[in-house]
């Protein structure tokens, strides 16, 4: 027996009072009938007309956009970007919020996630409840910092440059992205057409003049001759294997952080904010307080940023093991740290490689896992190594909270936490949690 398809509610409008912020760049509201709405482009306390963008009758919640602001919040500003707003570019979540309000909203999300998933108050998490702006990012109300050193542009069927709309493959044409770093904007990617190309990633290194574009051709498409406003290396995504291949110029960019130059190849992972790498290294090292002779792990180590910082501090009698699943990142990490005999980098997944090493005890651990977090099994293994302190670098407060609860079950408790606004005008936030063994009660 076939069931009747549920009626789509897309386009329906509700007048609602906007409630608290939620994880994901939206706020929570309820209709008069009690239906939960996730409302983008709104702020807590506002009264708005919310139009449904996704959802059907009987759904647990509906996704909506605030298309009319009836009672604005005092934190509301006119969005500086003309491409921000309902139905437009999905890259920014909080263009309509004053800078200080954005950081307060992020702090509220972290607080809620820690409470709900880890059972911790800010005081128990040893966090002062603030989200710290990066140096130089404090801008006047109505402006946004130009911080994004890597931008993934989408190209429409006519070859015009744009950015993806929220939760959509649709493209919003743009002629300038306000949050793109100057090194990206000066390439002039948005000024030209890109026939037969479906994506252009632009990378502007921090601490060097290296500029790179990574082109993804449409199926069967040919690469154009790339002539931009500044010298640039060109890579392409191969249609058959998805690998990245050099067209001309260097296959890597040189980044500068923690008093070292870092080679990052083939569009590999590096923090997007120009101040992020140094800020995070400082927070991690201040929290761990490495000593000469320590044995340390750097898990999900990328191109070796934390491993290098640890190696400088543990000295020649110390040792650092890094583990990373990306083969190219491992090659870069080994190159970047080749002058340090006390560092070893292993290729593979942490949960597979770490047990094979035979390591049974360490002094310090840094982990910077992907957005999903480390997970219960990996946390249990790490806790069994008896580290004096563990630094957890998290790009998702929900994953952090889940894993912190697992650590608590293994006898590790927060010593200090800091939160950084390394993704201004988006909902993303970076946290550094320092954990240590709980004192045994007598």
Residues marked as catalytic: 395
Pairing of strands 161-164, 171-173: antiparallel
Residues contacting 190, CB < 8 A, separation 6+: 153, 161, 174, 175, 176, 177
How many Cβ atoms are within 10 Å of 15's Cβ, its own excluded?
13
Q: Which residues pair with 203 in a beta bridge?
A: 150, 212
Beta-bridge partners for 215: 200, 236
Residues 6+ apart with CB under 8 A from 171: 154, 155, 156, 162, 163, 164, 165
Q: How many residues does this entry show for the chain? A: 442
In sequence order, which residues have a C-beta less than 8 Å from that of residue 119 and are 6 or more positions away?
405
In angstroms, the CA 127 to CA 114 distance is 11
If we measure between CA atoms, which residue out of 425, 372, 404 comes closest to residue 105? 425
């Amino acid at each position: 027996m076939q069931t009747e398809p549920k009626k789509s509610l897309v386009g329906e409008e509700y007048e609602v009072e906007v409630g608290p912020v939620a994880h994901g760049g939206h706020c929570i509201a309820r209709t008069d009938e009690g239906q939960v709405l996730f409302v983008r482009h709104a702020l807590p306390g506002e009264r708005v007309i919310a139009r449904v963008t996704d959802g059907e009758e009987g759904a647990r919640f509906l996704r909506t956009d605030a298309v009319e602001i009836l009672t604005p919040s005092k934190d509301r500003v006119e969005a500086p970007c003309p491409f921000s707003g309902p139905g437009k570019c999905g890259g920014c979540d909080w263009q309509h919020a004053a800078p200080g309000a954005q950081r307060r909203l992020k702090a509220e999300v972290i607080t809620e996630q820690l409470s709900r998933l880890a059972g911790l108050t800010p005081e128990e998490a040893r966090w002062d409840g603030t989200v710290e702006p990066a140096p130089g990012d404090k801008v006047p109300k109505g402006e946004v910092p130009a911080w994004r050193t890597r931008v993934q542009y989408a190209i429409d069927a006519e070859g015009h440059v744009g950015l993806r709309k929220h939760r959509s493959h649709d493209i919003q044409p743009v002629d300038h992205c306000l949050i793109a770093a100057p090194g990206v904007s000066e390439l002039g990617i948005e000024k030209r057409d890109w026939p037969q190309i479906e994506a252009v990633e632009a990378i502007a290194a921090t601490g060097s003049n290296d500029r790179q574009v990574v082109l993804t051709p449409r199926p069967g498409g040919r690469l154009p001759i790339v002539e931009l406003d500044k010298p640039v290396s060109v890579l392409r995504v191969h249609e058959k294997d998805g690998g990245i291949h050099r067209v001309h110029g260097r296959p890597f960019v040189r980044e500068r952080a923690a008093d070292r130059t870092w080679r990052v190849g083939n569009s590999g992972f590096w923090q997007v904010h120009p101040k992020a790498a140094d800020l995070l290294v400082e927070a991690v090292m201040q929290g761990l307080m490495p000593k000469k002779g320590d044995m340390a792990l750097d898990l999900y180590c990328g191109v070796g940023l934390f491993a290098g910082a640890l190696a400088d501090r543990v000295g020649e009698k110390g040792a650092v093991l890094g583990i990373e699943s990306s083969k190219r990142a491992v090659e870069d990490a080994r190159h970047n740290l080749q002058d340090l005999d006390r560092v070893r980098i292993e290729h593979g997944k942490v949960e597979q490689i770490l047990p094979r090493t035979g390591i049974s005890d360490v002094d310090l651990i840094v982990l910077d896992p992907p957005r999903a977090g480390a997970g219960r099994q990996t946390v249990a293994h790490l806790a069994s190594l008896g580290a004096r302190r563990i630094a957890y670098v998290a790009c998702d407060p929900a994953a952090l909270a889940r894993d912190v609860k697992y650590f608590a079950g293994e006898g590790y408790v927060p010593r200090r936490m800091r939160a950084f606004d390394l993704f201004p005008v988006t909902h993303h936030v970076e946290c550094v949690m320092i954990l240590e063994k709980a004192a045994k009660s007598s």
